[in-house]
Structure 1
Amino acid sequence: MKAAITLESVTIRTELRPGDIGYVIYMHGDIYSKEYGYSLGFESYVAESFVEFYKQYDANLDRVWVCEHNEKIIGFLLLMHRGKAAQLRYFIMEKPYRGIGLGKKLMNLYMNELNSLGYESSYLLTVDELPAAASLYKRHGFRLTEEKPFSDFGKPLMEQKYELMLR
């Protein structure tokens, strides 16, 4: 019998290792294709934006949370500096790990770092067909500030921007 997955069985590390970026890009392509029917354009978008992150990475301003279970990456979240704002990016989790409190834990870690690093605000870009994620962002004070039609991921969507003002 397979043991139940618990929050305590997941480890979270805060440094990137070789292979992490490629694997997280793969996770996005695989999960969003299977669960939402996104095209290769989505995976390409994630890959391009990861290159941007890596090229401007600053250990004093940026943070990563790599979630692992049995030595396999099962979730990820990143805080990326954007001047006085921080961007929440690449929040993803394998399906079996949803609903155990890991998303809430990652958001709490994000919020703690956001405050300790002194950012004035934070924002994220998402799409309208992810209501569970939007609910989590709203519970942490993010507000929907922009919405526009978007079709780069192989189907019509509404791109949404959520913002949080801290100071």
Structure 2
Amino acid sequence: MTNYSIRNHLIPGDLSKLANLHAKIYFEEHGFEIGFEAYVMESVVEFFRQYDPNLDRVWIVEENEVIVGFVLLMHRPQNEAQLRYFILEKSHRGKGIGSKLMQEWMDFFREKNYRSAYLYTTSGLDPAIHLYEKHGFKKISEQISTDFGIRMLEMYYRLDQL
């Protein structure tokens, strides 16, 4: 296991680093064009503007004070939660960090007694999809998209609290 830490609060610079991390990884690994970075930046601003520490949480993975991973829970209307920005640098995958993040996300989701949760993802992210399904998320729909400059399959997953 690498020497890493997880923090649950935002500090100045985190939002731009999150967008940069996504842009870099999704371009290098999947060929997403610059429109994806703009989309992430816009949605991160949306998260920040509606952020409520009693309802929302971030998990920021750092190694030597450098962000190497991220996930957040964003509250939505009607007591729903959205899982967003689940990402890890390639060198940190396969070490249990993603599983730990997902478990902590689920624990917070249950602690706050959300009615349901949802997420959007794309094909080619099989390890993340496996984690979502392992924790009870079910694929509801899928559609072909070219939103980020490449042809891809977008998928919508839901989790309903028992």
Instruction: Read off the aligned partner of 2:40 and give its amino acid letter.
Output: V
Match status 1:134 vs 2:110: no
Match status 1:150 vs 2:149: no
How many residues are matched?
Answer: 161
Report the RMSD for the aligned CA atoms in angstroms.
Answer: 0.8
Please name the residue that 2:61 is paired with. Answer: 67
Match status 1:55 vs 2:55: no
SS at match of 2:124: coil
Looking at structure 2, the residues matched to 92 and 105 of structure 1 have their Cα atoms a distance apart, in angstroms, of 13
Superposition deviation, residue 131 in structure 1? 1.4
Instruction: Read off the aligned partner of 2:50 and give its amino acid letter.
Output: Q
Please name the residue that 2:89 is paired with. Answer: 94
Ranges of 4+ aligned residues in structure 1 off by more than 4 Å: none
Percent of residue pairs identical: 48
Looking at structure 2, the residues matched to 71 and 27 of structure 1 have their Cα atoms a distance apart, in angstroms, of 14
Please name the residue that 2:31 is paired with. Answer: 37
Is there any run of 5+ residues in structure 2 with no aligned partner, and where?
none
TM-score (norm 2): 0.97
Instruction: Read off the aligned partner of 2:83 and give its amino acid letter.
Output: L
Looking at structure 1, the residues matched to 126 and 68 of structure 2 have their Cα atoms a distance apart, in angstroms, of 21
SS at match of 2:20: helix
Please name the residue that 2:105 is paired with. Answer: 110
Looking at structure 1, the residues matched to 105 and 160 of structure 2 have their Cα atoms a distance apart, in angstroms, of 14
Please name the residue that 1:28 is paired with. Answer: 22
Looking at structure 2, the residues matched to 120 and 60 of structure 1 have their Cα atoms a distance apart, in angstroms, of 16
Is there any run of 5+ residues in structure 1 with no aligned partner, and where?
1-5
Looking at structure 1, the residues matched to 135 and 123 of structure 2 have their Cα atoms a distance apart, in angstroms, of 18
SS at match of 2:139: strand
Superposition deviation, residue 149 in structure 1? 1.4
Superposition deviation, residue 125 in structure 1? 0.3
Instruction: Read off the aligned partner of 1:158 and give its amino acid letter.
Output: L
Looking at structure 2, the residues matched to 102 and 119 of structure 1 have their Cα atoms a distance apart, in angstroms, of 24
TM-score (norm 1): 0.94
Superposition deviation, residue 126 in structure 1? 0.6
Superposition deviation, residue 136 in structure 1? 1.0
